[in-house]
Amino acid sequence: MAIDTRGEAADKPSKPGKEKKKRTSPALFYRQIVAELRKVIWPTRKDLVTYTTVVLVFVLIMVAFVSGLDFLFTEGVLAVFGGS
């Protein structure tokens, strides 16, 4: 049975001293996003190429590893249970 979360808990008044937060306007939200993005230290092209190469090499190594395990397990299962 589902719990009704919109019942009494939603009707309770907020605690004294805590004001209900107002929603941020879309314009203010956009300005905050732009301000945060200006703080970001973006990688240089050289860094980006290095990171991409490292990720691709790691993925290729993991694909080879998982493929090798798959082959070994397949051969092991076929050896134990027989196969054609």
Tell me the residue range of the domain where 74 lies: 42-84
79, part of any domain: yes
- In a domain, residue 11? The reply is no
Decide if 15 is inside a domain: no
Whether 80 is in a domain gets the answer yes
pLDDT digits (tens, 9 = 90+) for 19-45: 677 888 999 999 999 999 999 999 999
Split into its structural domains, the chain has a count of 1
CA 60 to chain centre: 21
Q: Indicate the pTM of the whole model.
A: 0.55
Is 81 a domain residue?
Answer: yes
DSSP state string for 8-20: HHHHSPPPTT-PP
Q: What is the mean pLDDT of the chain?
A: 86
